[in-house]
Structure 1
Amino acid sequence: MSEQSLPDDARAEHADARAEHADALPEYAERVLEVAESIPPGRVLTYGDVAEWLGEGGPRQVGRVMALYGGAVPWWRVVRADGVLLPGHELRALGHYREEGTPLKEAGRTTEGHLPRLDMRRARWDGGGHAQGHT
């Protein structure tokens, strides 16, 4: 997602947060965060998708980057492959998903915590419209 598509106040906050970390960010982390920013609202990529996109690292490395530095980007768009919401951040993520219209599968009565999951078949982004191809 480009900063131009954010509201002015969010864009300014986003730029400030990125600038704060820019000098301290390892190159791989910067690349992961750039991919996270490119994911359109209402769509998601898995940790493994991001690693594949970059041609480097794996799901754990992407997850580590997101855990350490992801607060300055739309972190809720980089997700687990099973569609389970990020533990400890479920309600914040769910608010973002509902606001953006991200496809969800409502939880059944027996689902622990009664939280929905992402509908990965419909929510997963194929990278279309991005300058870099995603295979």
Structure 2
Amino acid sequence: MTPEEYVEEVLALVERIPPGRVMSYGAIADHLADRSGRESARLVGSIMARHGGGVPWHRVVNSAGRLPPGHEREARGRLLAEGAPLRGDRVDIRHAAWSPGQP
């Protein structure tokens, strides 16, 4: 998979995350690892920072449920509007985590 194809795969996966649910950068990297040969949560974060404006970027958080850096306020508002469970300034990962194949 070329770097450009990987960017497209990351963005396509983020588009599939249902409202009120989230995936971590690492979960996205893990899901695509077999096909891409890449396993970097940092790379997913970099892709989201550069190319994620057209997808529901607010549904991608770190493994502890922290919201996208520099966009916490807007992400929090969007997630609350979608009914995502929050605990303080973080998403409750236990209840909001989504993976492909889940409804």
Whether TM exceeds 0.5 here: the answer is yes
Match of 2:98 in 1: 125
Q: How many residues get paired? A: 97
What CA distance in whole angstroms lies between the structure 2 residues aligned with 1:86 and 1:64?
11
Please, which runs of 5 or more residues in structure 2 have no aligned partner?
A: none
Within-5 A mapping of 1:44-59: 44-55=22-33, 56-59=38-41
1:90 to 72, 76, 96: 72
Identity of aligned residues (%): 48
Counterpart-to-counterpart distance in 1, 2:54 and 2:23: 17
Normalised TM-score (structure 2): 0.87
1:35 aligns with 2:17: no
Distance 1:89 1:129 in 2: 27
Conservation of the 8 A alpha-carbon contact between 2:60 and 2:68? no
| 4+ residue segments displaced more than 3 Å | none
Higher relative contact order (CA 8 A, sep 6+): 2
| TM-score calculated relative to the size of structure 1 | 0.67
Larger Rg belongs to: 1
Counterpart Cα distance in 2 of 1:128 and 1:41: 15
SS of 2:70's partner is coil
Whole-angstrom distance in 2 between the partners of 1:104 and 1:28: 30
Amino acid at match of 1:80: N
2:86 corresponds in structure 1 to 104
